[in-house]
A and B are shown apart, each in its own frame.
Chain A
Amino acid sequence: MSVFNRIVMTLLFAGLFVLGLYTIVYSFDLLGRSLNSLPISDFAAGLKDFVRRVEHGKLSILTIITLVLMAILGLIWFIAELRPTAPTRVRMGNGTYVTRGVVGEEISRVAEQVPDVLGSSVGVKARRSPGAQVELEARVRRGEDLGSIRSGLRSSVQRHLSERGLPVSKLNVKLVEADPRQTKTRVQ
């Protein structure tokens, strides 16, 4: 989102800068150019007409919907800009940070040590408060008791992480039944 915003804002400011230069040149009749020479009489007339219709409240439904949508879009963009950026590192408290990769690596390692787990993928989100939000997806054989595997896996991961001092504020464990021929590990 922030990269997209930066690109948009850069293009916008570049456009405004060029427009500003043209405005100065045409406003002050520099370089033999003047506002009267611009072919904007139709545009100006159209604009005047539009403003007159706004003042008299005689806009078409389509125009009203377009303006409302533009206002909503602007509001959403404004709120998105106000939101502080998500932290990139996981805060452990007391001035210690770990990258999301470290947390993911640790969790993946401990998850794949659980005998029923054939493979795993981990998503880690850093939060402003201490601790990470973790989405752990583990692949298991079909027909296994998913409830007991999930609770065993959850407790193993939590125990391991607390031993390492890695705080996890939210741990979501998702089990996916998979064909062992298509997983990282076939037999544990």
Chain B
Amino acid sequence: MADGIQLARAATEAALATEGVYSMGRGRYVEAATYEGSEKVSGVVVGPEDLEIHIVARYPLPKSIPEIAENIRERVAPEAGGRRTRVVVEDLEVAEDERL
């Protein structure tokens, strides 16, 4: 089980490896990040009992948003240590060929 910044890093890797995720989000009104010392991991907020993962989804979506969120949760679960995982889709990034 990872803790703090390690978990944030693992969650970022897991999220970015999931199909349909373009990048990590940064939070809309408050920055979504985990800090430790001088290090910061954007897009993941690690709490004592929960874990919040902010993503930007790729458009067109390869699957529905709940499916993408579930895939992220499955990938993160081994590291999350029983924390409740919330996935927040902050934005959609349109693929280059869709902009034509």
> A and B: real partners?
yes
For A166, the chain B residues whose CB sits under 8 A away are 65
Which residues 15-69 of B have a CB within 8 angstroms of A?
Answer: 28-29, 57, 61, 64-67, 69
Question: Per a CB cutoff under 8 Å, which of B28, B61, B87, B90 touches A164?
Answer: B61
Q: How far is the CB of A6 from chain B (nearest CB, A)?
A: 14
For A98, the chain B residues whose CB sits under 8 A away are 65, 88-90
Q: Are B89 and A102 in contact (CB under 8 A)?
A: yes
Q: How far is the CB of B62 from chain A (nearest CB, A)?
A: 11
Chain A interface SS verdict (over half): mixed
Question: Per a CB cutoff under 8 Å, which of A88, A96, A101 touches B65?
Answer: A96
Q: Are B87 and A88 in contact (CB under 8 A)?
A: no
Q: With A and B bound together, what is the CA distance between A163 and B69 in angstroms?
A: 15
Question: Per a CB cutoff under 8 Å, which of A88, A92, A97, A102 touches B91?
Answer: A102
Q: Are A99 and B28 in contact (CB under 8 A)?
A: yes
For A96, the chain B residues whose CB sits under 8 A away are 65-66, 69, 86-89
Q: Is the C-beta of A135 less than 8 angstroms from some C-beta in chain B?
A: no
Q: How many A-B residue pairs have CB under 8 A?
A: 55
Q: How far is the CB of A175 from chain B (nearest CB, A)?
A: 26
Q: Are A165 and B89 in contact (CB under 8 A)?
A: no
Which residues 82-100 of B have a CB within 8 angstroms of A?
Answer: 84-92
Q: Are B91 and A95 in contact (CB under 8 A)?
A: no
Question: Per a CB cutoff under 8 Å, which of A97, A99, A106, A163 touches B86?
Answer: A97
For B84, the chain A residues whose CB sits under 8 A away are 95
Q: Is the C-beta of A49 less than 8 angstroms from some C-beta in chain B?
A: no
For A88, the chain B residues whose CB sits under 8 A away are 28-29
Q: With A and B bound together, what is the CA distance between A94 and B57 in angstroms?
A: 18
Q: Are A102 and B28 in contact (CB under 8 A)?
A: no
For A102, the chain B residues whose CB sits under 8 A away are 57, 89-92
Q: Which residue of A lies closest to B84 (CB)?
A: A95
Q: Which residue of A lies closest to B85 (CB)?
A: A95
5 interchain residue pairs of minimum CB distance? A165-B64, A96-B69, A165-B66, A98-B89, A97-B88
Which B positions have Cβ atoms within 8 angstroms of A?
28-29, 57, 61, 64-67, 69-70, 73, 84-92
Instruction: Identify 22 residue pairs between A and B in the complex whose beta-carbon atoms are under 8 Å apart, listed by A's number.
Output: A88-B29, A92-B66, A93-B66, A95-B84, A95-B86, A96-B66, A96-B86, A96-B88, A97-B86, A97-B87, A97-B88, A98-B65, A98-B90, A99-B28, A99-B89, A101-B91, A102-B91, A102-B92, A105-B92, A163-B64, A164-B61, A165-B67
